[in-house]
Amino acid sequence: MSKEPIIISIGGGKGGIGKSTVTTNIGTALVQKDYRVGFIDADLGGANLHHCLGIKRPQTGLRDFITGTAKNLADVALATPLPGSWLISGASDIVELANPRFAQKKKMIAHLRTLDADYILIDLGAGTGSNVTDFFAAFPCGIIVSDGSAASIENAYGFLKNGIIRGLLRLFPGNKELQQFIRRCSGSGNDLHYTTIGEMVAAAVQRFPDYARTMKEYLHAKRLFLVLNMVRRESDIRHGERFAGIVKKYLSISLIYIGYVSWSEDVNASFRAMQPVMLHSNAAEVRNAFSSITANLVALTRE
Ligand SMILES: Nc1ncnc2c1ncn2[C@@H]1O[C@H](COP(=O)(O)OP(=O)(O)OP(=O)(O)O)[C@@H](O)[C@H]1O
Ligand SMILES: [Mg+2]
């Protein structure tokens, strides 16, 4: 197994779509395949990943790292009931923590790469604000969760677009002119009239030839995976492929549809019981879905 952890953020814009459920159960499936897994609850407004993993009151977590009580991210990791895995819990009780400074986030991102695990899964909060997208932008791999409905696909698209723009901006921290160009191309006013990220990069080749290559490499390195969750209709399953096509066309990144999980009362029951559904004996359909999604993820991240 490789030394550097494979870091995957899990987001999707919309609240309550199952990001924490997907994080928990993919993580459990990875543990069942003997991978060492780290869970990070990056939801700094309404953290609940500890609940999904069966931990009632985490004694430490991101709060202690952000406030400086703990110097290293590794110091705030807790063992979980899943063998060989750990959790860095989020926070929901201190308002100012919901908006850590960029420098704090940068430190967190740097520490993350040094943690001991084969996979690190970062459960992102809802929304498309910079706190959410900074983590998404910082690492090549990400999972997008949607229920396949029009509203949630729209949210997921907004999340992805913001995340990509955020990532491109982060590439050139000191270059105000280029940053402004990226902002103008992507802002709601869109005064430069580029419909796609591809058109924007093509324009950057003309105006900023020295930097366009870095932008292309960033987009090329992105490894994004789509999971549909809480699927209720046969027709929604097909929306995954369509969405992936739209993302390729408009955002110039590859989004690979790695599977779907149907809506199931078993998931709700396991959530209430504070246990991953992967550990339940009576939820074969959901377990099979998460197993197959995880097998696809492993194949695509370890190739
Ligand atoms: N496939 C599913 N079938 C039925 N219920 C589900 C499914 N996936 C998740 N749920 C339920 O939906 C609720 C929200 O799930 P979860 O907390 O994972 O969403 P989230 O996207 O992380 O929410 P938030 O945006 O608040 O972080 C929970 O009660 C969970 O049990
Ligand atoms: Mg959540």
Tens of pLDDT, residue by residue over 237-271, are 888 999 999 999 999 999 999 999 999 999 999 99
pLDDT classification of 3: cutoffs 50, 70, 90 = confident
Other Cβ atoms within 10 Å of 218 Cβ, number: 18
Ligand 1, atom 8: closest residue by C-alpha: 18
Query: How many A from CA of 36 to the centre of ligand 1?
Result: 24
Q: Note whether residue 1 is domain-resident.
A: no
For residues 160 and 222, give the distance between their C-alpha atoms in angstroms, rounded to a whole number: 11
- pLDDT exceeds cutoff 70 at 79: yes
Q: Note whether residue 45 is domain-resident.
A: yes
pLDDT classification of 67: cutoffs 50, 70, 90 = confident
Query: How many A from CA of 19 to the centre of ligand 2?
Result: 5
The domain total for the chain is: 1
Q: Is the CB of 10 under 6 A from ligand 1?
A: no
For residues 116 and 40, give the distance between their C-alpha atoms in angstroms, rounded to a whole number: 13
- pLDDT exceeds cutoff 90 at 63: no
Other Cβ atoms within 10 Å of 114 Cβ, number: 11
Closest ligand 1 atom to the C-alpha of 264? Answer: 3
Closest ligand 1 atom to the C-alpha of 17? Answer: 21
Q: Which residue is it, tokens 């040094």?
A: 114
Q: Is the CB of 268 under 6 A from ligand 1?
A: yes
Q: Note whether residue 25 is domain-resident.
A: yes
- pLDDT exceeds cutoff 70 at 194: yes
Q: Which residue is it, tokens 């080749």?
A: 205
Contact call for residues 241 and 148 (beta carbons, < 8 A): no
Q: Note whether residue 83 is domain-resident.
A: yes
User: What per-residue confidence (pLDDT) applies to 96?
Assistant: 60
User: What per-residue confidence (pLDDT) applies to 93?
Assistant: 62
Query: How many A from CA of 23 to the centre of ligand 2?
Result: 9
Bridge partners of residue 10, in order along the sequence: 123, 143
81-106 burial string, b = 16+ CB within 10 Å, else e?
A: ebeebbbbbbbbeeeebbebeeebbe
Q: Is the CB of 263 under 6 A from ligand 1?
A: yes
Q: Note whether residue 114 is domain-resident.
A: yes
Query: How many A from CA of 43 to the centre of ligand 2?
Result: 7
Tell me which residue range forms the domain holding 87. Answer: 6-301
- CATH number, domain of 45, equals 3.40.50.300
Q: Which residue is it, tokens 């959790």?
A: 87
- pLDDT exceeds cutoff 90 at 92: no
Q: Is the CB of 87 under 6 A from ligand 1?
A: no
Bridge partners of residue 52, in order along the sequence: none
Q: Note whether residue 275 is domain-resident.
A: yes
167 CA to centre of own chain: 13
Q: Is the CB of 21 under 6 A from ligand 1?
A: yes
Q: Note whether residue 76 is domain-resident.
A: yes
Amino acid at 210: D
Tens of pLDDT, residue by residue over 7-46, are 999 999 888 999 999 999 999 999 999 999 999 999 877 8
